Chains A and B, each alone.
Chain A
Amino acid sequence: MLSLIDLKVGQDLPGRVKQITQDDINLYAKASRDYNPIHIDPAFALQTPSGGTIAHGMLVLALVSQMMTEAFGLNWLSGGHFNIRFKTPARPGDVLTIRGRIEKIEIQGRQTQIVCSVSCANQNHESNITGEALVKADIPSP
């Protein structure tokens, strides 16, 4: 977890790289109970404009949330904010790179607000997700 005192504007968050497989998507469908055939039925998905199955957007966003949890711990769970857009869907076999960068740090009294840009892109550098994540946290006493 990052130390709130040492954060700097321009600092990269610890990123993640993850390959998405159809097994991951199938398991996420079970966990989220989202069995939309566009995610889990290759024969159905082939007949749609996507031309094949795609990962749940919320599965991909969960990977971005994991990066925020790694960076900010409990502060993310009790003061986190996402404002994101879904771009290109992730497909089975894609290798996703999740990145975050601190864009702004605002301090008001004992509380700090950290604004980060976040993104997820595939191996072809196509954006899956772009947007902003914001964390509010109390600054620890020295």
Chain B
Amino acid sequence: MSEPPKLKYFQLTVGFEFPPQSYTLDSAIVDLYLEATRYASELYRVEKLVPPMAVTAYAMLALSQSVTLPSGTIHVSQELDFIKPVKTGDTITCCSKVSRKVDRGGLRLMNIDISVTNRSSELVLTGKVGFILP
């Protein structure tokens, strides 16, 4: 089945909710992330928790799979709240919503709120992503 076409910036309005995306963070995914970030905390290697920034990376992936932002878009700010650790093998669901969109004097700003839940529908992470668009 083909994926739905990605949205464009001009189609987004404040309050718009992107389609939720789910990912299973299995050991292959977590191990690759740990290798890429060269970090071997026992929390991840032994206790088999997922680094919170890996969860964030997948929340950002969900966003990028739903919308195409213009070339030259800059990711300028990031707020994150790590609420509950995610265990390796858990399935996360990533939701995001446009919370601010300003077009003023050639300056275009957009904030997107993100939230991630685990398989038990518990909130594990929330955040806000800030973009400046050309």
Choose from A33, A34, A62, A81 the contact partner of B82 (Cβ within 8 Å): A81
Total contacts A to B, CB within 8 angstroms? Answer: 101
Say yes or no: B36 contacts A31, CB within 8 Å: yes
Does chain B have a CB within 8 A of A57?
Answer: yes
Spot the interface stretch: B7-15, B73-81, B108-116: B73-81
The interface bits of chain B over 9-30 (1 if a CB of A lies within 8 angstroms of the residue's CB, else 0) are 0000000000000000000010
CB-defined interface of A55-92 with B at 8 Å, one 1/0 digit per residue? 00111011101100110011011111111111000000
The answer to whether A77 and B52 have CB atoms under 8 Å apart is yes
Q: Are B35 and A31 in contact (CB under 8 A)?
A: yes
Interface size range on B against A = 35 or more
Q: Mark A15-29, 1 if CB is under 8 A from B, else 0.
A: 000100000100110
Closest beta carbon of chain B to A135's beta carbon, Å: 9
Chain B: minimal CB distance from A45 (Å): 12
Binding site for B on A (CB under 8 A): 18, 24, 27-28, 30-34, 48-49, 57-59, 61-63, 65-66, 69-70, 73-74, 76-86
Partner-A contacts on B (CB < 8 A): 29, 32-33, 35-39, 41, 43, 49, 51-54, 56-58, 60-61, 64, 71-72, 74-85
